[in-house]
Structure 1
Amino acid sequence: MNFFNRWGNFMMAGAGALAQWEIENAKSILSSRKRIMMIGLLLIPVVLGGIAFADEVAPVLPDLLGGKKSYSPAFYSLGIFLVSIAIGMGAGLITGCIGAGGGFIIAPALMSAGIKGILAVGTDLFHIFAKAIMGSVIHRKLGNVSVALAVVFLVGAIMGATAGGVINRVLYEINPVLSDAFITTVYSLMLGFLGFYALSDFLRCRKAGDGTCAHGGGKTEGADMGGMAKALQAMNIPPMVTFDQDLTPGGRSISWVFLVLSGALVGLAAGIMGVGGGFLTFPIFVYVLGVSSMTTVGTDIFQIVFTAGFASISQYAIYGFIFYTLAMGMLVGSLLGIQIGALVTKVVPGITIRGFYAMAVLAGFMNRIFALPGKLGEMDVLPISPALGSVLNDIGIWAFFIVIGGFSVWVIGTFLKNIPTLKR
């Protein structure tokens, strides 16, 4: 149980840090007319592609956006663009309202909508990269970035992202179903653990009923260190990287080896799952490496921009695994969803929000775990009929979209109902 709680708290802290990054990015983008205009410019190819597709002229543009020559059934249409906006909004509502990463549901949602796993991962990474560049939050946080720490960490992150991209592409070349099964398995494990921890955390908080459970989950740390961090910093394997000089006399130092290994793990997760790796950076820095939360936040923002950018372009875009139309739809939807969700937190009890987070993550888990038997059956790994596999997959899809859709309706309804209160 201690192991479960420790790692559950570890992941919740990461989810909360990732959500905070998303919220700050959204505020930064929507508070600037220049950045809003940039989104409008990015949407021009989508509009032109729709016109070209409808008129059956200039076929090259729709193909670049995700035409019928792309990885079917993900092809350009108004319907798939609207679905991407809805998926982005659902993820944004979770992020803004719950204060924990809604990006975890994007790849499962895209795969449920018929997008192949490798395309969902590449598109999600590109959407994160576009948001990070436009948000430009990094410029406001540079004072909290330890450049030496970030650069050494990024060496490992780039290697890990490369490995993750190669793994996904090799599996896809062997068998597209194998690629989907692998990504589905990774998401099932991650969402299952996080979802059951979030549920137990919600039940514990509801039983306590004393308001001690902070919104968003997970704890943060300032200058304090745990036993593991002290042990790693005590290992003198040169060169040593120094950081947190402003918080402790002389600062702290840690071997480059542990930074590179940590970066490789974050990059690998980003390359395979398409979530930018941000949900791992915060807990690894704070709990494992002993970096202060202030320095961690700035460095996390720094690494997301470069890790997501490198992975999306070098490992997916140049191989055709980016669906531009979907990425832009998710960007627009998530920006709107985050703003609405953040406002709803002002009028909804925190315990209710925690319950919805547990439901949302567990819905993602059910979606992927119910899709897995059919994929294993297609590869003759599991003795299951195609009909049964299809039924299980449909159950997972319906359960997922009913829960996420119900949550979205509740949040938007609560927002509209409380507009007078929010204005006051």
Structure 2
Amino acid sequence: MKKGRYIYELLMRASMAHARWDYEASMNILRSRKRLAILGLLALPAIFLSVAIAADPETLPAILGGKKAYSPAFYTPEIFLVSILIGLCAGLITGCIGAGGGFIITPALMSAGIKGILAVGTDLFHIFAKAIMGTAVHKKLGNVSVPLAVWFLVGSGIGVTGGGVINRTLYEKNPVLSDTFISVVYVVLLGFLGIYALVDFLRLRKSGEDVGAHHGESAHGAEAASGKVGLPARLQAAQIPPMIRFDEDLVPGGKKIPALFVVLAGVLVGFVAAIMGVGGGFLTFPIFVYVLGVSSFTTVGTDILQIIFTAGYASISQYAVYGFIFYTLAMGMLLGSLLGIQLGALTTKVVKGIYIRGFYATAIMAGFVNRLFALPGKLAEMKIITLAPGTGKMLATVGNYAFFICVGIFAAWVIGKFVTSLGALRGEEA
């Protein structure tokens, strides 16, 4: 139980760190007319195509609407609209809770009828596009440890390649097997996070404690992050050449750690990113700070470079060149998430954190139920279990409705709170 709690805390810190980057990148785009103009130009083809197809569906070339891999992704105006709504909901969750919005994108896309491998590749491309457009790297360059970043990216490249090969191999063998594999990965992750998040919400509600305090940095956590105790101290004490020196500006003489451990961390981050499509930033922060003992100051800058490289390399080399990127979906998600993060962040000023935490736990559990209910039908298609086709389809439909209703209620509640609290928000800004 204690190990489970520790892993949950690490995953939540990871999710929160990635959400902070997501928010900062989104705000950098929204505050820049130049970046908004670039985004508009990138989205124009999808918008014009949607209008053209809606006016005359017969104008869609067969090659553009190909439903097979190795040809441009299937396209309809409805799918583009759904991608905007998915991005909006993910942005609302990220903006409100400061964690977890990215977890629902791949399950949501799969629930909308997108193949799992397309959902993963498209989500990675969406993260890459946001990183390139919204990350102000020049402000953080002073934080970057070049040796740390280089060795980490070596491992990340290996992990990304391995994860991409596994996803593509499974898809080429059997598309249903690919969807099943991705669904199982999300069932495990969302089930674990959802159960602990629900338990946390019920505990907080019972004690009357507001959200956030239980995720604060403990004294032990601060010592561990400094590399003085625990696992970071043992790893830094190992004498395995070559050694990397980092944090010279914070610790006299800096800290040292074998490059091997940094490479292995990169392999893990890259592999998970390529398999799930969640972006490398999700795991980098807790691994750097709580496992390798890197300071938060150095981690922030290095993580920014890592996100750009990992998401970019994964989306382009492992998915785009094989036809597993849905460009129009990525643009729709980017547009929706920018709006959602803005609304979600503003709403937190007028809503108690405990209520938002409850919605977060519910949304994560809905994603878990969604992928769990999709599994019986997939397993039956592969002849692993015996199940009537109608039963499998019914379970998947129930899971889809449960997911979209829960996320939709959360989105409607947040937007409603924002609209009804406009006066209070304007007064606070003034």
Please report the TM-score for the alignment, with normalisation by the length of structure 2: 0.93
Residues 192 and 376 of structure 1: CA distance in aligned 2, closer, same or farther (over 3 Å): same
Query: CA-to-partner distance for each residue in 1:260-280, whole Å, 9 max, x for gaps?
Result: 100000000111111112111
Is 1:4 aligned to 2:4, yes or no?
yes
Query: CA-to-partner distance for each residue in 1:261-304, whole Å, 9 max, x for gaps?
Result: 00000000111111112111111111111111121122111101
Whole-angstrom CA distance in 2 between matches of 1:40 and 1:216: 41
Question: In the TM superposition, what is the alpha-carbon distance from 1:58 to its structure 2 partner?
Answer: 7.3
Whole-angstrom CA distance in 1 between matches of 2:7 and 2:82: 34
2:105/2:123 contact within 8 Å kept: yes
1:74/1:114 contact within 8 Å kept: no
Is 1:357 aligned to 2:360, yes or no?
yes
Task: Name the SS of the counterpart of 1:241 in structure 2.
Answer: strand
Whole-angstrom CA distance in 2 between matches of 1:412 and 1:294: 34
Match of 1:35 in 2: 35
Match of 1:214 in 2: 212
Mapping 1:30-109, distance limit 5 Å: 30-50=30-50, 53=53, 55=56, 56-57=58-59, 59=61, 63=64, 67-70=65-68, 75-109=74-108
Query: Which of 368, 373, 397 is equivalent to 2:400?
Result: 397
2:25/2:136 contact within 8 Å kept: yes
Whole-angstrom CA distance in 1 between matches of 2:136 and 2:202: 35
Match of 1:150 in 2: 149
Match of 2:180 in 1: 181
Q: How many residues align?
A: 419
Question: In the TM superposition, what is the alpha-carbon distance from 1:256 to its structure 2 partner?
Answer: 0.6
Identity %: 63
1:95/1:101 contact within 8 Å kept: yes
Match of 1:161 in 2: 160
Whole-angstrom CA distance in 1 between matches of 2:247 and 2:43: 42
Match of 1:125 in 2: 124
Task: Name the SS of the counterpart of 2:251 in structure 1.
Answer: coil
Residues 237 and 12 of structure 1: CA distance in aligned 2, closer, same or farther (over 3 Å): same
Query: CA-to-partner distance for each residue in 1:155-188, whole Å, 9 max, x for gaps?
Result: 0001100111100000000000000000000011
Query: CA-to-partner distance for each residue in 1:178-221, whole Å, 9 max, x for gaps?
Result: 0000000001111111111111222222233244x417946486
Query: CA-to-partner distance for each residue in 1:63-104, whole Å, 9 max, x for gaps?
Result: 1xxx23445996212111110000000000000011103011
Residues 396 and 163 of structure 1: CA distance in aligned 2, closer, same or farther (over 3 Å): same
Whole-angstrom CA distance in 2 between matches of 1:68 and 1:27: 35
Match of 1:268 in 2: 271
Task: Name the SS of the counterpart of 1:380 in structure 2.
Answer: coil
1:88/1:337 contact within 8 Å kept: yes
Match of 1:140 in 2: 139
| One-letter identity of the residue aligned with 1:24 | E
Is 1:115 aligned to 2:117, yes or no?
no
Match of 2:339 in 1: 336
Whole-angstrom CA distance in 1 between matches of 2:31 and 2:263: 36
Residues 391 and 215 of structure 1: CA distance in aligned 2, closer, same or farther (over 3 Å): farther
Query: Which of 413, 417, 420 is equivalent to 1:417?
Result: 420
Whole-angstrom CA distance in 2 between matches of 1:232 and 1:69: 49
| One-letter identity of the residue aligned with 2:423 | P
2:14/2:284 contact within 8 Å kept: yes
Query: CA-to-partner distance for each residue in 1:308-332, whole Å, 9 max, x for gaps?
Result: 0000000000000001110000000
| One-letter identity of the residue aligned with 2:8 | G
Please report the TM-score for the alignment, with normalisation by the length of structure 1: 0.95
2:244/2:259 contact within 8 Å kept: yes
Match of 1:379 in 2: 382
2:366/2:402 contact within 8 Å kept: yes
Whole-angstrom CA distance in 1 between matches of 2:100 and 2:217: 15
1:98/1:216 contact within 8 Å kept: no
1:73/1:115 contact within 8 Å kept: no
Whole-angstrom CA distance in 1 between matches of 2:46 and 2:73: 15
Whole-angstrom CA distance in 1 between matches of 2:8 and 2:61: 48
Task: Name the SS of the counterpart of 2:257 in structure 1.
Answer: strand
Whole-angstrom CA distance in 1 between matches of 2:10 and 2:83: 30
Query: Which of 315, 318, 321 is equivalent to 2:321?
Result: 318
Whole-angstrom CA distance in 1 between matches of 2:160 and 2:77: 32
| RMSD of aligned residue pairs (Cα, Å) | 1.9
Task: Name the SS of the counterpart of 2:105 in structure 1.
Answer: helix
Query: CA-to-partner distance for each residue in 1:211-265, whole Å, 9 max, x for gaps?
Result: 4x41794648665334011111110101111111122111111111011100000
Match of 1:239 in 2: 242
Residues 58 and 81 of structure 1: CA distance in aligned 2, closer, same or farther (over 3 Å): closer
Residues 297 and 81 of structure 1: CA distance in aligned 2, closer, same or farther (over 3 Å): same
2:141/2:301 contact within 8 Å kept: yes
Whole-angstrom CA distance in 2 between matches of 1:309 and 1:215: 35
| One-letter identity of the residue aligned with 2:409 | G
Whole-angstrom CA distance in 2 between matches of 1:141 and 1:391: 50
Match of 1:224 in 2: 226
Task: Name the SS of the counterpart of 2:253 in structure 1.
Answer: coil
Whole-angstrom CA distance in 2 between matches of 1:245 and 1:259: 17
Whole-angstrom CA distance in 2 between matches of 1:411 and 1:114: 26
Whole-angstrom CA distance in 2 between matches of 1:128 and 1:342: 19
1:157/1:268 contact within 8 Å kept: yes
1:13/1:218 contact within 8 Å kept: no
